[in-house]
């Protein structure tokens, strides 16, 4: 079974975490199953950007993002080439390294500049 390495995030997983992930599961589901409470304001239906993550390793093993996801990602805080909405990113056969951005759009307004 592939593993997901969640890199340390001050709020959601201060020490980082390595977990097993069943292929076919979304990164968001894997995170929540392992008590990493990535925000999911829309409940995981691809209608917000709060579940934004950056897939540092294994990006190409994920399903492809559809147009709706791409449009939403354009609005996400800290967008990168390997950004995904974690509720839409489905684990394939390879290990993944996932970074949770420091802020989500909900927090960006309050972020110090």
Using rule CB under 6 A, residue 104 touches ligand FES: no
Question: Using CB under 6 A, which of the segments 40-48, 54-62, 73-81, 96-104 binds ligand FES?
Answer: 40-48
- Shortest gap between Cβ of 88 and ligand FES (angstroms)? 6
Which of residues 1, 22, 41, 68 is near ligand FES by CB under 6 A? 41
CA distances from 68 to 2, 71, 73 (A): 27, 5, 9
Residues 6+ apart with CB under 8 A from 4: 18, 19, 20, 21, 27, 30, 91, 95, 96, 97, 98
Does 91 contact ligand FES by CB under 6 A? no
Q: Sign of torsion, CA 25 27 30 33?
A: negative
Is residue 36 a contact point for ligand FES (CB under 6 A)?
no
Where on the chain is the footprint of ligand FES (CB under 6 A)? 40-42, 44, 46-48, 50-51, 85, 87
């Amino acid at each position: 079974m592939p593993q997901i390495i969640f890199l340390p995030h001050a709020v959601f997983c201060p020490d980082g975490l390595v977990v097993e992930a069943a292929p076919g599961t979304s990164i968001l589901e894997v995170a929540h199953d392992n008590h990493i409470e990535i925000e999911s304001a829309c409940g995981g239906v691809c209608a917000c950007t709060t579940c934004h993550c950056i897939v540092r390793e294994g990006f190409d093993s994920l399903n492809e993002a559809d147009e709706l996801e791409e449009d939403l990602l354009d609005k996400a805080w800290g967008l990168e080439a390997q950004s995904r909405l974690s509720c839409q990113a489905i684990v394939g056969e390879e290990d993944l390294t996932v970074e949770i951005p420091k802020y989500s759009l909900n927090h960006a307004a309050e972020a110090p500049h």
